[in-house]
Amino acid sequence: MAVKLACLDCGQGNRVPEEKLGAGPKCGTCGAALMPSKPVEVTFDVLEKARRMDEVPLVVDFWAGWCGPCRMMAPEFAKAAGQMAGRARFAKLGTEAHPQAGGTFGIRGIPLLIKFERGREVARQAGAMPAAGIVGFVQG
């Protein structure tokens, strides 16, 4: 069975056989990795496409450069992305560059993790967490 994924670089929709998710699938349009083992910085428009289209869990870290806890959590988020490679996608959205995210997602504090599945928000967690906590959040 094929799953739908939006490319986190160009936003183009792709279909990938489920058994190939862990084999490094690439976007048919731009060649970017569809299931990267590290977080991808996304734009608001690409995030909107991905959260509506993706048929695998999409975990988004809403952050800002001036936020100390956000900077502290970044390497932990990257570690969690590596541990969950092939099972979930990890993206980062800068709230300063994309202020519309605050209203759209009801962001009251950062860092904020939101997990999306099949177009719906299924979980959210505010505050910095270690990699193990992030993996638990994704699996929960």
**Catalytic: 10?**
no
Alpha-carbon distances of 4 from 15, 83, 129, rounded to whole Å? 5, 22, 29
Residues 6+ apart with CB under 8 A from 6: 12, 13, 14, 46, 49, 50, 52, 53, 54
Q: Which of 37, 55, 40 is nearest to 10 (CA)?
A: 40
SS3 16: strand
- Pick the catalytic residue from 7, 10, 27, 70: 70
Q: How far is CA 9 from the centre of its chain?
A: 12
Does 67 qualify as catalytic in the annotation? yes
How far apart (Å, rounded) are the C-alpha atoms in residues 132 and 17?
A: 29
- Kindly list the catalytic residues: 67, 70
